[in-house]
Amino acid sequence: MTLYVRNIEYMNKNDHIRAVIFDVDGTLFDTLPSLSAAANEVLVQVGRQAVSASLLQSALNEGLRPLFHKAIALQREAVDAQTVTQLEDQFMARYLRHGLATAPLFAGVADALIAFKDRGLRLGVCTNRDRASTAALLAAAGIADSFDAVVGLGDAPLPKPAAEPLLLLLERLRVAPANALFVGDSALDARCAQLSGVRFAAHLGGYAEQAQDLLPNVLSFGRYQQLTHWLLDHCGDSFSPRQLRFATSPQPLSMNQEYL
């Protein structure tokens, strides 16, 4: 997939990136197949209709339970509230028991995390997924120790796209918004970054319905090797284990100029 750089705001010496924050579903992990499978297993078991994963994709950006609520809403016949609650609990139990550990990291994620940690960057997770399943997912993939802080659903007064979760994470990382990059795959992530005053990097391999949903961003990328190279290529001679910076006088790129 081609990498395109958009809306670049060149940093001055006070804008070094000192932290990289990641969304989880559709950004670090390809979780849609395992989640949709768990939802459909529960629904079919009680005589309801299976729902295509593509129809649940957008709801996953809001969290695990909103994904299941979307599957319920797409049933041919209405489901009463008590049954919804019971089925939702069964869905979560089935997913945590059978599906959670099967979700793969996107290619290149592990290497990118190592590269960023080697440069002394602080790493964090900001997700609308609950803390318990987030911790289990990170642990199952062997990357839990890569992160200095995690903010999940319920840790802040409001979920993404509100700014509170990302700002809380930055407070825990002790990094200013101007010194952070948020990597996500949805309109919720892009809006959260914008409201927080944090630069946004858009993962095109995630669950956004269209690329326009991921604006504004400083770059969009299809493979994690591209994200890593982009960061390294913009550090110039001032790159150090404690500071990742952009070049102070780069050549501007057009909206559709390919980054090689």
> Which residues are catalytic, by number?
23
- Residue 260's contacts (CB-CB under 8 Å, 6 or more residues apart) are none
Handedness of CA 61, 143, 192, 162 (dihedral sign): positive
Q: Are 219 and 192 in contact (CB under 8 A)?
A: no
Strand partners for 29: 25, 105
C-alpha–C-alpha distance, residues 20 and 200, integer Å = 10
C-alpha–C-alpha distance, residues 149 and 140, integer Å = 17
C-alpha–C-alpha distance, residues 85 and 77, integer Å = 16
C-alpha–C-alpha distance, residues 184 and 126, integer Å = 9
C-alpha–C-alpha distance, residues 146 and 90, integer Å = 31
